[in-house]
Amino acid sequence: MNPTATATTAVYSTTDDIVRNLSLVRDEIADTAAKIDEQQVASLARHISLTGRVFVAGAGRSGLVLRMAAMRLMHLGLNVHVAGDTTTPAISSGDLLLVASGSGTTSGVVKAAETAAKAGARIAAFTTNPDSPLAGLADAVVVIPAAQKTDHGSSVSRQYAGSLFEQVLFVATEAIFQSLWDNDAQPAEELWLRHANLE
């Protein structure tokens, strides 16, 4: 069958399918998040809390998760930029580049880290691969023990492609935000004043 052909047969999911897969996704996220080294996450969070601007860079769905993290860090009052946006300034010494790549080899993300390193910026990375080029460039690495997106049929996850990495990346960045906020003492009402009002 041609993979680009449009399917002519409708595909349906039963209630049993949904119940089974809600459990699958929930359990895989919980199991994988429990295997993350909390010290790695704490080290990365310390880099975020240091003075300087925070830049985020990621491709695809990992990049979308980092955009969500950037929004939460902005709510805390940090000076945050998303790489590739037209108003993003040059990164420089004292800044932090926060990146994510399951494989640790995504070319645009590795290139961004190389540029940040040359500029004297710190690099914090999320990846499944501690031996990857991206991890090698980073000052702080959080290893998420999930399948890479090309690990089809992996015993690590039954989900498609890099879904588990991206899901746990979201959980980890939310835990970092929550931890920073716990120690910040700003009331939720103050954070809300920074929320976008041009939506």
Catalytic residues, by residue number, are: 166
Q: List Cβ neighbours of 74 (8 Å cut-off, separation of 6 or more).
A: 80, 194
Instruction: Tell me how far apart the alpha carbons of residues 134 and 25 are, in angstroms, rounded to a whole number.
Output: 27
Which residues, including other chains, have CB under 8 Å from residue 164's CB and lie 6 or more apart? 28, 29, 32, 146, 147, 156, 157
Tokens at 125, concatenated? 């990375």
